[in-house]
Amino acid sequence: MQPLESRINYKFRNSFLLAEALTHPSLAYESNRPHFDNQRLEFLGDAVLQLVVTEELYKRFPGSPEGHLTKLRSRVVSRRALARFAMMIHLGDYVLLGKGEESTGGRRRLSTLADAFESLIGAIYLDTGPKEAQRLILELFEGEIDGMVTSPDERNPKGELQECLQAIHPIAPAYRIVSESGPDHRRVFQAEVVWQEKILAAGKGKSKKEAEARAAAEAMRLRNWED
C-alpha cells in the first residue's frame, strides 16, 4: 500500500484513478498530456463533498433553517478548510507538479491542496462508490463539525489553530483532558492543547469538546508558538 493510501486507510482498486487525482494541470501541460490531470475529478469530488457535508449538517442541526445550514456548509468546504484537511493527510507531498509550479511553492499553495483534496474524494467515489468517500470525509471533518455544534455562530477555534500551526509544520495540535471536577450533573473539564511537545494553552468547559475549543481559542490569543 502506498504511503498516502496508508494515511487515509484506503487501498485503490484502480491505481490509475489515484494517479489522475494527484496530477496537477501544470504537469499535464509540461508532459504534453493536456487531458490527463485532476480537474475532472476535482469537479466530481466537489459535488460529493457538498452532498456528504450537507447531509451531516442536516442531521446535526435539526432545528436550523436553510440559510444557517448554508453558512455552516460554506465554512466546512471553504478553500482554506479543504487545504487544511489536505495538510492533515500530507497530501501536498504526493501531488505531481510541473517544474514551474514546483519552483514557485505550488506544493503548499492553498488552491493546489484544496483542488487535490477534492480530486482525491472524486477518485475514491469512482473507485468504490459513495460509502468510502463518505467515511474519509466524515473522519477528517469530525473536529470541524463538532466545533460547529459547540459554537455554531462563531469560527471554529480548533480549526483556526490547526490552520495556523500546519502552515508552519504538518504536525497537527493534540488535545488532552487534564482534569474533571464538580458533581455529575455539573461537570467541569479542563483541556490542554499541545503542539510539538509544547503546551500552548488550557481551557475549561462543561464538556470535553467545549474545553478543547476554549483551549484552542486561548492558544490563538496567546500565540506562544511564535516565541
Q: Is residue 158 one of the residues assigned to a domain?
A: no
The answer to whether residues 65 and 85 belong to one domain is yes
Q: Over pLDDT 70: what percentage of the chain?
A: 94
Cα Rg, the chain, nearest whole Å: 19
User: Is the same domain home to 83 and 187?
Assistant: no
Give Cβ neighbours of residue 176 (< 8 Å, ≥ 6 apart).
191, 192, 194
Q: Is the pLDDT of residue 1 over 60?
A: no
C-alpha cell at 5: 493510501
Q: How far is CA 108 from CA 3, 94, 115, 127, 162, in A?
A: 18, 11, 12, 27, 15
Q: Are 102 and 186 contained in the same domain?
A: no
> Distance (Å, rounded) from C-alpha 223 to C-alpha 216?
10
SS3 content of the chain, % helix, strand, coil (to 5): 65, 10, 25
Task: State the CATH number of the domain containing residue 127.
Answer: 1.10.1520.10
Q: Per residue in 14-34, is it b (16+ CB within 10 Å) or e — as a string?
A: eeebbebbbbbbbbbeeeeee
Q: How far apart are CA 22 and CA 24, in angstroms?
A: 6
Cα–Cα distances in angstroms (integers) from residue 34 to residues 37, 103, 105, 201, in the given order: 7, 20, 22, 49
pLDDT score for 151:
62
Phi/psi for 156 (5° steps) reads: -80, 110
DSSP 171: P
Q: Tell me the residue range of the domain where 20 lies.
A: 3-152
The per-residue pLDDT for range 155-184, each reduced to its tens digit, is 678 878 887 887 788 788 999 999 999 888
Q: What contacts 22, CB < 8 A, 6 or more positions away? A: 38, 94, 95, 96, 116, 119, 120
User: Using CA atoms, how far apart are residues 188 and 208, in angstroms rounded to an integer?
Assistant: 8
Q: Is the confidence at residue 225, as pLDDT, over 90?
A: no
Lowest mean pLDDT among 30-44, 144-158, 162-176: 144-158
Same domain (yes/no): 126, 99: yes
Q: For the chain, what percent of residues have pLDDT higher than 90?
A: 47
**Positions marked catalytic:** 46, 118
Which of 8-22, 70-84, 121-135, 180-194 bottoms out in mean pLDDT, i.e. has the lowest? 70-84
> Quick one: 108 and 201 in the same domain?
no
Residues 24, 105 share a domain:
yes
Residues 109, 32: one domain?
Answer: yes
Total number of domains constituting the chain = 2
**pLDDT class of 152 with cuts at 50, 70, 90:** low
Residue 89 has pLDDT above 80, yes or no: yes
Q: Grid cell 446535526 — which residue?
A: 60
Read off the pLDDT of residues 102-143 as tens digits, 9 standing for 90 and up.
888 778 788 899 999 999 999 999 999 999 999 999 998 887
Does 135 share its domain with 218?
Answer: no
Single residue among 96, 124, 152 that ends a domain in this structure: 152
* pLDDT of 224 strictly over 70: yes
Average pLDDT score over residue span 43-61? 95
